[in-house]
Chain A
Amino acid sequence: MSEQSGATPQSGSPQQTGIPKENQLKKDPEIQTLEEDDEFEDFAIEDWEEDQTLGAEGENQLWDQDWDDDDVGDDFSEQLKKELTRNR
């Protein structure tokens, strides 16, 4: 909420958290940019036809079923493989 950004620091002040001031200053902008409200916007019109909707088909396209796949094939998996076999 925008009002929060203007609040004077209380419990999160550098003195209380123990985080060096310079780090606090570096960190704050990043967190603040994500603090804004994501309000659910009102619709411009009250109703619309069925064929204009996303529908079950459109919704199903938004999801993948590949979480169970073993072969992730990214850098992390490669590094993990190296690390696990390193002590041999």
Chain B
Amino acid sequence: MEIIHAIGLASATEDGDLLKERFSIMNDAPKEILELQSLNKNAINCYDTWKDVIVNYFSLMKALNRGVPLLTFQCQNELLDSLSKCAKGSSNWILPTLITVAFELQYMALHVDDDYENNQRNNKYSYHNSNNPFSVRTHPKILKMQRALATLTKVFKVCVNDRELDMSKSKKIGVHFFSALIYKFYLKLDQTHLSGNIEKAIESIKDQLPSIHSIPKSHAINYLYYSGWLKLNDGKFDSANEKLTLALRLTRKNDYHQIKSILFLLIPIKFYTNKLMPSKKVFQLFQVQNEDDKQDYESAEKFKKVLEISKCYFQIFRAIKSGNIKLFDTFIYKITNFLLKKNLYLIFEKIRKFVIFKLFKVSYSIIVKNPTSFEIKNIYQIPIGYFTKAMEFSQYHNEKQFYLNDREAKREKKLQNQKEKEPEIDPEIRFTTDELNNTECLLGNGIVDGYIKGYLSHSLRIIVFSKKQAFINTVKRNTE
């Protein structure tokens, strides 16, 4: 049979590109396979280790032709599994085939719905829903992802354990590509704790791996994006910054989708690690829509949603710059689901202290520039009450556009009424002990963290600032 000979010849001559084209489901199934009732196994006995590959390829083409997604997925999974066994005894000529089959497998696992899923969608079940009769572990989509993950891990191990010293023949060139796919599944399956093993394996052979700049850029970016995201999950923000910055630098200028995805993660990380603010150009980028997206309804909708989130980011960073706690909290609340899904909630929670810190800095600047407007002996000794007042204003100031619901508006009105009833008194005695203690603690944190230079006098309820420099400059610029 012609197709068997073609596969056999490609493997014998180590023609990776030909084999890749043959095994890609993007190409039409050969007619001779579709016309064949069953495969004569005696005819393929001579192909030794490639026998299973040929059998699985035939099954895949048949399943694809029958149009049964779940069966197609299972056949694709078997095909990759058998290819990984052949790969053990081959040099890296087989990598293009492994990469193509693995890429299409992950696509099937993540994006192709089978009949079950369509039915469940109609029944409004999901694996996140506790009404679902299938538990999270047994949901077919999860099982599909787990099966694909197991096979991808086998291929990854084949690449990592390749003992070939000549890099031009080594399968280690595929390590970044396969680890990116595995990371993607870990994140989807909420199994990020397992990524440590992959990370350790990569770390142990890092001297033998090709440079990130010498592998295809799409492989490098995928690896950097997912491993950067995992570093973010682990709270290793410097490492996440390094990886995501490099990923961003390697993208093409018009890869807007990928640039936007990287930026959603990198914007808070860049601020947290280097105190760099997203420039106007960042928000202009979010407004750019690909021509193709305008034609496609789903892409157009996604564009709108991404734009909406970016607008919330814009408001959040406006709040960080001015010390506006209410603005910050309001827009964090609006995108809470997105932040939780992307594991960004924690870093924004950590960033919140910088909103407060900026508020103190701006308040101090106001006091220093207008000393006669305040009851202070000198500009270095400021009553805690003034900062407490700034905190109160920043959290509860009246900006109607921020009200999320009637309840909040009513609460705001009540607070305003209470304030009006209160007589105008000195800031030192206007606040409760708890409120003053709270501000004192926040200022104390600023001193401990090294952002404020000075000390607190609890008995006098004042903060004494350094005459040289009360607030240190925090911006760190990456110049590499």
Chain A residues with CB under 8 Å of chain B are 1, 3-4, 6-8, 10, 19-20, 23, 26-27, 30-31, 33-43, 45-48, 52-56, 58-68, 70-72, 74, 76-77, 79-81, 83-85, 87-88
Contact = CB atoms under 8 A, between A and B. Distances in A.
Given A41-B261, A48-B217, A34 B253 contact: no
Given A31-B337, A35-B338, A76-B322, A66 B277 contact: yes
A81 B365 CA distance: 10
**Consensus secondary structure, chain B interface:** helix
Given A4-B126, A27-B405, A36-B305, A59 B248 contact: yes
Contact of B252 (A52, A60, A65): A52
The 7 A-B pairs of least Cβ separation, nearest first, read A3-B126, A63-B276, A43-B218, A47-B216, A6-B124, A85-B373, A70-B365
Interface of A is mostly: loop
A80 B363 contact: yes
Nearest to A72: B322
A19 B218 contact: no
Interface string B377-406: 000000000100110011001000000111
B334 interface: yes
Contacts of B336: 31
B215 to A, nearest CB: 9
A48 B276 contact: no
B251 interface: yes
B5 interface: no
Given A38-B338, A41-B258, A48-B252, A23 B406 contact: yes
B474 A67 contact: yes
Given A38-B264, A79-B393, A70 B424 contact: no
Quick one: which of A40, A47, A59 has the most chain B CB within 10 A?
A: A40
Interface in B413-428: 424-427
B367 A84 contact: yes
Given A3-B126, A31-B337, A67-B320, A54 B389 contact: no
B40 to A, nearest CB: 37
A75 B221 CA distance: 41
Nearest to B262: A40
B362 A70 contact: yes
Nearest to B365: A70
A59 B281 CA distance: 10
18 contacts: A3-B125, A20-B406, A39-B261, A40-B222, A40-B225, A41-B258, A53-B253, A54-B250, A54-B251, A54-B252, A62-B281, A64-B278, A65-B276, A67-B475, A68-B473, A72-B322, A72-B323, A85-B373
A84 to B, nearest CB: 6
A85 B261 contact: no
B221 to A, nearest CB: 7
Nearest to B130: A10
A34 B306 CA distance: 8
A34 B338 contact: yes
A72 B362 contact: yes
Contacts of B221: 43
A63 B426 contact: no
Contacts of A36: 302, 305
Contacts of A31: 334, 336-337
Contacts of B397: 76, 79, 83
A71 to B, nearest CB: 8
Given A48-B252, A85-B373, A80 B390 contact: yes
B324 A76 contact: yes
Given A35-B338, A38-B306, A76-B322, A68 B253 contact: no
Contact of B128 (A1, A76, A88): A1
Contacts of A39: 261
A82 B251 CA distance: 47
Contacts of B306: 38
A8 to B, nearest CB: 6
Contact of B366 (A10, A81, A87, A88): A81
